[in-house]
A and B are shown apart, each in its own frame.
Chain A
Amino acid sequence: MRGALLAAAGGAMGGAGGPLARTIRAKLTAALQPTHLEVRDDSPRHGGPPGAETHFGVLVVSGRFEGLPLLQRHRLVHEALRAELAGPLHALQVIARTPQQWQSDPQAPPAPPCLGGSKR
Protein backbone atom coordinates (compact mmCIF):
# COMPACT_ATOMS: atom_id res chain seq x y z
CA MET A 1 0.00 0.00 0.00
CA ARG A 2 2.83 2.32 0.89
CA GLY A 3 4.35 1.74 -2.49
CA ALA A 4 1.15 2.71 -4.20
CA LEU A 5 0.88 5.89 -2.13
CA LEU A 6 4.46 6.87 -2.93
CA ALA A 7 3.87 6.18 -6.58
CA ALA A 8 0.79 8.34 -6.58
CA ALA A 9 2.40 11.16 -4.64
CA GLY A 10 5.77 11.14 -6.32
CA GLY A 11 4.94 10.20 -9.85
CA ALA A 12 7.12 7.13 -9.89
CA MET A 13 6.42 6.60 -13.53
CA GLY A 14 8.69 8.48 -15.84
CA GLY A 15 12.28 9.53 -15.36
CA ALA A 16 11.94 11.74 -12.30
CA GLY A 17 11.46 8.93 -9.81
CA GLY A 18 9.90 9.26 -6.38
CA PRO A 19 10.30 12.16 -3.96
CA LEU A 20 13.48 10.83 -2.37
CA ALA A 21 15.05 10.28 -5.78
CA ARG A 22 14.29 13.87 -6.67
CA THR A 23 15.68 15.11 -3.37
CA ILE A 24 18.87 13.13 -3.87
CA ARG A 25 19.22 14.49 -7.37
CA ALA A 26 18.63 18.07 -6.25
CA LYS A 27 21.04 17.91 -3.32
CA LEU A 28 23.84 16.28 -5.29
CA THR A 29 23.39 18.79 -8.07
CA ALA A 30 23.58 21.70 -5.66
CA ALA A 31 26.55 20.35 -3.72
CA LEU A 32 28.71 18.97 -6.51
CA GLN A 33 27.60 20.57 -9.78
CA PRO A 34 27.97 17.27 -11.61
CA THR A 35 28.53 17.11 -15.33
CA HIS A 36 26.79 13.75 -15.26
CA LEU A 37 24.48 12.33 -12.62
CA GLU A 38 22.55 9.11 -12.38
CA VAL A 39 20.28 8.30 -9.48
CA ARG A 40 18.98 4.76 -9.32
CA ASP A 41 16.38 3.38 -6.94
CA ASP A 42 17.50 -0.15 -6.14
CA SER A 43 14.84 -0.72 -3.51
CA PRO A 44 12.80 -3.23 -5.53
CA ARG A 45 15.91 -5.42 -5.81
CA HIS A 46 16.15 -5.50 -2.01
CA GLY A 47 12.69 -6.83 -1.36
CA GLY A 48 10.94 -3.50 -1.03
CA PRO A 49 7.74 -2.71 -2.88
CA PRO A 50 8.00 -0.48 -5.97
CA GLY A 51 8.63 3.09 -4.90
CA ALA A 52 9.99 2.07 -1.47
CA GLU A 53 13.01 4.35 -1.94
CA THR A 54 15.30 2.79 0.67
CA HIS A 55 18.30 1.66 -1.36
CA PHE A 56 19.85 3.94 -3.94
CA GLY A 57 22.84 3.97 -6.24
CA VAL A 58 24.32 7.23 -7.46
CA LEU A 59 26.85 7.88 -10.17
CA VAL A 60 28.34 11.35 -9.82
CA VAL A 61 30.75 12.87 -12.31
CA SER A 62 32.14 16.14 -11.02
CA GLY A 63 35.21 18.31 -11.27
CA ARG A 64 34.96 18.73 -7.49
CA PHE A 65 36.46 15.26 -7.16
CA GLU A 66 39.68 16.27 -8.86
CA GLY A 67 42.68 15.41 -6.73
CA LEU A 68 40.60 13.76 -4.03
CA PRO A 69 41.06 10.15 -2.97
CA LEU A 70 38.00 7.91 -3.16
CA LEU A 71 37.29 8.15 0.54
CA GLN A 72 37.05 11.94 0.41
CA ARG A 73 34.89 11.84 -2.71
CA HIS A 74 32.42 9.52 -1.04
CA ARG A 75 32.42 11.67 2.07
CA LEU A 76 31.41 14.66 -0.05
CA VAL A 77 28.47 12.69 -1.41
CA HIS A 78 27.47 11.53 2.08
CA GLU A 79 27.71 15.08 3.37
CA ALA A 80 25.29 16.28 0.71
CA LEU A 81 22.85 13.54 1.71
CA ARG A 82 23.41 13.64 5.45
CA ALA A 83 19.77 14.13 6.38
CA GLU A 84 18.57 11.39 4.06
CA LEU A 85 21.19 8.94 5.31
CA ALA A 86 20.08 9.64 8.86
CA GLY A 87 16.54 8.91 7.75
CA PRO A 88 14.92 6.83 5.06
CA LEU A 89 18.01 6.14 2.96
CA HIS A 90 19.16 2.75 4.15
CA ALA A 91 21.86 1.96 1.64
CA LEU A 92 23.77 4.02 -0.89
CA GLN A 93 26.08 2.79 -3.60
CA VAL A 94 28.42 5.53 -4.81
CA ILE A 95 30.47 5.87 -7.97
CA ALA A 96 32.39 9.16 -7.92
CA ARG A 97 34.45 10.08 -10.98
CA THR A 98 36.12 13.13 -12.37
CA PRO A 99 34.97 14.20 -15.85
CA GLN A 100 38.23 12.87 -17.27
CA GLN A 101 37.78 9.48 -15.66
CA TRP A 102 34.20 9.26 -16.88
CA GLN A 103 35.22 10.16 -20.39
CA SER A 104 37.80 7.40 -20.53
CA ASP A 105 35.44 4.85 -19.03
CA PRO A 106 31.76 5.77 -19.34
CA GLN A 107 30.40 2.71 -17.62
CA ALA A 108 29.29 1.91 -14.13
CA PRO A 109 29.36 -1.53 -12.54
CA PRO A 110 25.96 -2.89 -11.49
CA ALA A 111 25.04 -3.09 -7.81
CA PRO A 112 25.78 -6.36 -6.01
CA PRO A 113 22.71 -8.57 -5.57
CA CYS A 114 20.82 -8.30 -2.31
CA LEU A 115 21.19 -11.20 0.13
CA GLY A 116 18.41 -10.33 2.54
CA GLY A 117 20.16 -7.93 4.86
CA SER A 118 18.68 -7.38 8.28
CA LYS A 119 15.34 -8.82 7.32
CA ARG A 120 16.69 -12.19 8.35
Chain B
Amino acid sequence: MRAAVRTGWRIGAAAALRGRAGRPLSQAAGESGGAEGGGGSGSREAVERLVREHPVVVFMKGSPAQPLCGFSNAVVQILRLHGVEDYRAHDVLQDPDLRQGIKNYSNWPTIPQVYLNGEFVGGCDILLQMHQNGDLVEELKKLGIRSALLDAEKDQEKK
Protein backbone atom coordinates (compact mmCIF):
# COMPACT_ATOMS: atom_id res chain seq x y z
CA MET B 1 0.00 0.00 0.00
CA ARG B 2 2.97 2.19 -0.39
CA ALA B 3 2.25 5.35 -2.32
CA ALA B 4 5.10 5.38 -4.80
CA VAL B 5 4.55 8.86 -6.11
CA ARG B 6 8.00 9.69 -7.38
CA THR B 7 7.12 11.29 -10.68
CA GLY B 8 6.17 14.88 -11.16
CA TRP B 9 8.47 16.57 -8.66
CA ARG B 10 9.47 19.87 -10.06
CA ILE B 11 12.70 21.08 -8.59
CA GLY B 12 13.71 24.65 -8.83
CA ALA B 13 10.89 26.82 -7.63
CA ALA B 14 12.08 27.26 -4.07
CA ALA B 15 15.81 26.98 -3.58
CA ALA B 16 16.36 25.21 -0.30
CA LEU B 17 18.21 27.59 1.94
CA ARG B 18 20.89 26.08 4.11
CA GLY B 19 20.17 27.05 7.67
CA ARG B 20 16.42 26.90 7.31
CA ALA B 21 14.32 24.94 9.78
CA GLY B 22 16.51 25.49 12.78
CA ARG B 23 19.69 23.99 11.41
CA PRO B 24 22.64 26.16 12.49
CA LEU B 25 24.58 27.51 9.55
CA SER B 26 27.82 26.76 11.32
CA GLN B 27 26.99 23.09 11.59
CA ALA B 28 28.53 21.00 8.87
CA ALA B 29 26.09 18.91 6.90
CA GLY B 30 27.62 15.65 8.00
CA GLU B 31 24.57 13.52 7.44
CA SER B 32 23.94 12.03 4.07
CA GLY B 33 21.10 9.60 4.09
CA GLY B 34 20.51 7.79 0.87
CA ALA B 35 17.45 9.87 0.28
CA GLU B 36 19.16 13.05 -0.82
CA GLY B 37 19.60 14.24 -4.33
CA GLY B 38 17.91 13.51 -7.59
CA GLY B 39 14.50 14.84 -6.71
CA GLY B 40 13.18 11.85 -4.81
CA SER B 41 10.59 12.35 -2.14
CA GLY B 42 13.28 12.72 0.52
CA SER B 43 15.37 15.37 -1.18
CA ARG B 44 15.78 18.81 0.37
CA GLU B 45 13.77 20.36 -2.40
CA ALA B 46 10.90 17.96 -1.96
CA VAL B 47 10.84 18.36 1.80
CA GLU B 48 11.14 22.14 1.54
CA ARG B 49 8.09 22.13 -0.66
CA LEU B 50 6.14 20.01 1.82
CA VAL B 51 6.94 22.12 4.87
CA ARG B 52 5.83 25.25 3.06
CA GLU B 53 2.57 23.75 1.83
CA HIS B 54 0.52 24.88 4.76
CA PRO B 55 0.97 26.88 8.00
CA VAL B 56 0.83 23.65 9.99
CA VAL B 57 2.63 20.57 8.64
CA VAL B 58 3.23 17.39 10.58
CA PHE B 59 5.39 14.40 9.71
CA MET B 60 4.13 11.43 11.66
CA LYS B 61 3.57 7.70 11.78
CA GLY B 62 0.12 6.87 10.59
CA SER B 63 -2.52 9.51 9.94
CA PRO B 64 -4.50 11.95 12.09
CA ALA B 65 -7.45 9.61 11.79
CA GLN B 66 -5.32 6.65 12.77
CA PRO B 67 -1.99 7.44 14.37
CA LEU B 68 0.33 4.44 14.62
CA CYS B 69 2.62 5.76 17.33
CA GLY B 70 1.96 7.20 20.76
CA PHE B 71 4.16 10.23 20.14
CA SER B 72 2.50 10.98 16.82
CA ASN B 73 -0.88 10.54 18.45
CA ALA B 74 0.06 13.05 21.13
CA VAL B 75 0.76 15.66 18.45
CA VAL B 76 -2.58 15.00 16.79
CA GLN B 77 -4.43 15.23 20.10
CA ILE B 78 -2.74 18.48 21.08
CA LEU B 79 -3.60 20.08 17.75
CA ARG B 80 -7.15 18.84 18.13
CA LEU B 81 -7.41 20.43 21.59
CA HIS B 82 -6.55 23.75 20.00
CA GLY B 83 -9.14 23.22 17.31
CA VAL B 84 -6.52 22.77 14.59
CA GLU B 85 -8.00 20.13 12.32
CA ASP B 86 -6.97 21.60 8.98
CA TYR B 87 -3.28 20.81 8.51
CA ARG B 88 -0.99 18.71 6.32
CA ALA B 89 0.02 15.38 7.77
CA HIS B 90 2.53 13.09 6.08
CA ASP B 91 2.78 9.43 7.04
CA VAL B 92 6.47 8.56 6.92
CA LEU B 93 5.68 4.87 7.24
CA GLN B 94 4.35 5.08 3.68
CA ASP B 95 7.57 6.58 2.33
CA PRO B 96 11.00 5.51 3.60
CA ASP B 97 12.73 8.17 1.52
CA LEU B 98 10.66 10.87 3.15
CA ARG B 99 11.21 9.28 6.53
CA GLN B 100 14.97 9.70 6.16
CA GLY B 101 14.76 12.94 4.20
CA ILE B 102 12.79 14.77 6.87
CA LYS B 103 15.34 13.76 9.50
CA ASN B 104 18.16 15.06 7.31
CA TYR B 105 16.32 18.29 6.59
CA SER B 106 15.71 19.24 10.21
CA ASN B 107 18.76 17.46 11.59
CA TRP B 108 16.39 15.81 14.05
CA PRO B 109 16.53 12.09 14.66
CA THR B 110 12.94 11.20 15.41
CA ILE B 111 9.35 11.32 14.22
CA PRO B 112 6.94 13.12 14.74
CA GLN B 113 8.11 16.53 13.52
CA VAL B 114 6.00 19.66 13.60
CA TYR B 115 6.50 22.61 11.25
CA LEU B 116 4.77 25.95 11.75
CA ASN B 117 4.98 28.36 8.84
CA GLY B 118 7.70 26.26 7.27
CA GLU B 119 9.86 26.28 10.38
CA PHE B 120 10.66 23.24 12.46
CA VAL B 121 9.43 23.70 16.03
CA GLY B 122 10.13 20.27 17.45
CA GLY B 123 8.63 16.90 18.22
CA CYS B 124 5.99 15.66 20.59
CA ASP B 125 7.81 16.66 23.80
CA ILE B 126 8.29 20.25 22.69
CA LEU B 127 4.77 20.60 21.38
CA LEU B 128 3.43 19.31 24.69
CA GLN B 129 5.44 21.86 26.63
CA MET B 130 4.40 24.65 24.28
CA HIS B 131 0.81 23.57 24.87
CA GLN B 132 1.26 23.57 28.64
CA ASN B 133 3.02 26.92 28.92
CA GLY B 134 0.78 28.81 26.51
CA ASP B 135 3.36 29.24 23.76
CA LEU B 136 1.36 27.18 21.30
CA VAL B 137 -1.62 29.51 21.52
CA GLU B 138 0.74 32.39 20.72
CA GLU B 139 2.43 30.62 17.83
CA LEU B 140 -0.92 29.70 16.32
CA LYS B 141 -2.04 33.29 16.67
CA LYS B 142 0.97 34.40 14.62
CA LEU B 143 -0.25 32.09 11.87
CA GLY B 144 -3.68 33.64 12.01
CA ILE B 145 -5.12 30.58 13.74
CA ARG B 146 -7.21 31.19 16.79
CA SER B 147 -6.82 28.42 19.28
CA ALA B 148 -10.07 26.78 20.40
CA LEU B 149 -8.79 26.97 23.95
CA LEU B 150 -9.23 30.74 23.89
CA ASP B 151 -12.89 30.26 23.07
CA ALA B 152 -13.20 27.65 25.78
CA GLU B 153 -11.88 30.18 28.28
CA LYS B 154 -14.34 32.75 27.05
CA ASP B 155 -17.22 30.36 27.54
CA GLN B 156 -16.05 29.78 31.08
CA GLU B 157 -16.11 33.50 31.76
CA LYS B 158 -19.63 33.85 30.46
CA LYS B 159 -20.91 31.30 32.93
Contact = CB atoms under 8 A, between A and B. Distances in A.
Contacts of A92: 109-110
B16 interface: no
A62 B107 CA distance: 23
A94 B120 CA distance: 17
A19 B33 CA distance: 27
Contact of A74 (B62, B69, B125): B125
Contact of B110 (A91, A113, A116, A120): A91
B125 A116 contact: no
Interface in A92-120: 92-95, 109, 111-118, 120
B128 to A, nearest CB: 7
B69 A116 contact: yes
Interface string A61-102: 000000000110011001000000110000111110000000
Given A115-B62, A117-B61, A118-B61, A71 B70 contact: no
Contacts of A109: 128
A112 B109 contact: no
Given A92-B110, A94-B125, A112 B71 contact: yes
A71 B126 contact: yes
17 contacts: A70-B129, A70-B130, A71-B22, A71-B120, A71-B122, A71-B126, A74-B122, A85-B109, A91-B71, A94-B125, A109-B128, A111-B70, A113-B70, A114-B70, A115-B69, A115-B70, A120-B68
Interface residues of B, number: 26
Interface of B: 22, 61-62, 67-74, 93, 107-110, 120-126, 128-130
B129 to A, nearest CB: 6
B69 A71 contact: no
B70 A118 contact: no
Contact of A116 (B22, B68, B71, B130): B68
Given A78-B108, A85-B109, A109-B128, A118 B93 contact: yes
Given A70-B125, A94-B125, A117-B69, 14 more contacts: A70-B130, A71-B120, A71-B122, A74-B123, A85-B109, A85-B110, A93-B71, A93-B124, A95-B125, A114-B70, A115-B62, A116-B69, A118-B93, A120-B68
